[in-house]
Amino acid sequence: MENESDCVFPKSYVMKGGEGPHSYAQNSTGQKSAIEAAKHHLQNAVTKKFDFKAISASSNNLICIADLGCSTGPNTFIAIQNITEAIQLKCQSQNQSAPEVLVFFNDQASNDFNTLFQNLPPNRNYFAAGIPGSFYGRLFPKQSLHLVHTSAALSWLSELPKELTDRSCGALNKGRIFYTNAPSEVYDAYQRQFKMDWEAFLQARAQELVDNGIMACLMNVVNDIDFKVDLYLGKDFELLASCLTDMAKSGLIQEEKVNTFNVPVFYPHVKDLMKVLETNEDFSIEQSEVLDNNCFVVPNIESFVSRLRAVLEVLIENHFGVGIVDELFERFTDKVREFPEIMDVPKLKFHLFFVVLTRKFIVALLKAKSKEVREMVTIILERVEHIWDIWNVRGAIMFSFLVQVFLVLFAPFRPRLDSLLLQFLIWTAYMLANWAANFTVGLITNNAGGNNNGGNKKILRAL
């Protein structure tokens, strides 16, 4: 390792900006197909789950939507169009006036928001705003969003797992840039990071969504895959790693830089995702679908390479410096020509996963209520305890005194009384007088012997 800064892995994972030939805007038809594949499910969710009457009553007929990890477009506009279309249709069918819609486009601060805003659809029927920052933390005020959408963004980790970036500087995954075909510690580290991120994401959104608000996530996942047997997933990253190693051998880049480069992307198992969701207290799962993976089919090698380049170029330049990507992706194209089977989608065992969650209302309420109730009971008990501390002996003496007064006044009449009720009361007063005297003596003894502090002083005052 040459110096500490070699260990620093860039935190900015944005896509290639602009609208040039290598830009994300020009090379994201795969992600676009994924949005199209989920369109019907997304619109169904909006139609079935959105409670427009409640919204119009509570928020001035304004619906706030966020697309998290929107990149530069145009896919985000298609997703938002799908959502607003469903909102309008539902309103029409209910004879309700269409609400106003405010859309927040979110991505990392270094995302090319200029390209995004320059290409906003001119005839859009919504207001638009940009929200920079990581969706793994809070981005919006509490209870301010009605619908959250995200597509092809949650595979990006908030950061590389610590095990790959600590002082040993990535030696754990030397020679590789991804977790496939790597020691199991590498996979475990990626998986742990993903779980932490996924939970942080849910926690932040739970605060930002209104009760019964909807969250629709479209993600790349694996299903029933054993990485030791199904070695296809990640082959593209393995080929890319071999190109980087070759370039290091030729002296074009530093070997140390190659050893510390890892792609901060993780494709979770559906079952692991669901495990977190099923135990989550804030969201309920409304719908979950593993969609077919036709959207990952690419027409030719050039498209395959361009799509990967648009996604990784900024990350690679941030790590290795500018000026290596042309050479790297030329070498990569040659390798893909040698092994075209890495584009074989069925072998990839890679899937699209669409899940719709709603922000739980009752649980949120109960959680808050049960906390309030617990606090209230604690306060009441503390007050009762406090009063008892001060008044226990005095109270018992006064009670005993009152019973004695009652007996002095009424006991002489007992032989002459016909009323059974009065006889019963006098008899009860006798018993209580006896008990109260014993109880008071017990209290005094207990307090005097129990401790030697403030309790004693109170008894002396009482006496």
Ligand X SMILES: C[S@@+](CC[C@H](N)C(=O)[O-])C[C@H]1O[C@@H](n2cnc3c(N)ncnc32)[C@H](O)[C@@H]1O
Asked if 220 is part of the footprint of ligand X (rule: CB under 6 A), the reply reads no
Q: Considering only residues 2 through 21, tell me which ones interact with ligand X, judged by CB under 6 A.
A: 13-15
**Stretch near ligand X under the rule CB under 6 A, chosen from 44-52, 63-71, 297-305, 320-328:** 63-71
What phi and psi values does residue 359 have, to the nearest 5 degrees? -70, 120
Strands 145-151 and 209-222: parallel
Please, what is the minimum distance in Å from the beta carbon of residue 332 to ligand X? 18
Of 134 and 358, nearer to ligand X (C-beta) is 134
Of 88 and 158, nearer to ligand X (C-beta) is 158
Task: Measure the CA–CA gap between 145 and 102, rounded to whole angstroms.
Answer: 10
Task: Look up tokens 């007063």; give the residue.
Answer: 429
Beta strands in 69-167 (DSSP E): 100-107, 127-132, 145-151
Q: Considering only residues 102 through 121, tell me which ones interact with ligand X, judged by CB under 6 A.
A: 106-108, 111
Find out whether 105 and 65 touch, Cβ atoms under 8 Å. Answer: no
Please, what is the minimum distance in Å from the beta carbon of residue 150 to ligand X? 7
Please, what is the minimum distance in Å from the beta carbon of residue 144 to ligand X? 17
Asked if 193 is part of the footprint of ligand X (rule: CB under 6 A), the reply reads no
Please, what is the minimum distance in Å from the beta carbon of residue 128 to ligand X? 15
Q: Which of 23, 27, 31, 84 binds ligand X (CB under 6 A)?
A: 31
Q: Which two tokens stand for residue 56?
A: 């119009």
- Name which of 252, 260, 265 is nearest 330 in CA terms: 252
Q: Which of 27, 115, 151, 280 binds ligand X (CB under 6 A)?
A: 151
- Name which of 280, 125, 263 is nearest 195 in CA terms: 280
Query: What binding mask, one character per residue, do residues 129-148 give for ligand X by CB under 6 A, x or -?
Result: -----xxx------------
Query: What binding mask, one character per residue, do residues 286-325 give for ligand X by CB under 6 A, x or -?
Result: -------------------------x--------------
Please, what is the minimum distance in Å from the beta carbon of residue 78 to ligand X? 9
Task: Measure the CA–CA gap between 400 and 429, rounded to whole angstroms.
Answer: 10
The 3-class secondary structure across 92-103, one letter per residue, is: HHCCCCCCEEEE
Asked if 238 is part of the footprint of ligand X (rule: CB under 6 A), the reply reads no
Q: Which residue is nearest to ligand X (CB)?
A: 69
Find out whether 395 and 321 touch, Cβ atoms under 8 Å. Answer: no
Asked if 158 is part of the footprint of ligand X (rule: CB under 6 A), the reply reads yes
Asked if 204 is part of the footprint of ligand X (rule: CB under 6 A), the reply reads no
Angle at 27 between CA 26 and CA 32, to 5 degrees: 100
The residues facing 129 across adjacent strands are 104
Task: Look up tokens 């403030």; give the residue.
Answer: 454
Of 107 and 208, nearer to ligand X (C-beta) is 107
Give the three-state DSSP class for 459: helix
Footprint on this chain of ligand X (rule: CB under 6 A): 13-15, 28, 31, 35, 69-71, 75-76, 106-108, 111, 134-136, 151-153, 156, 158, 311
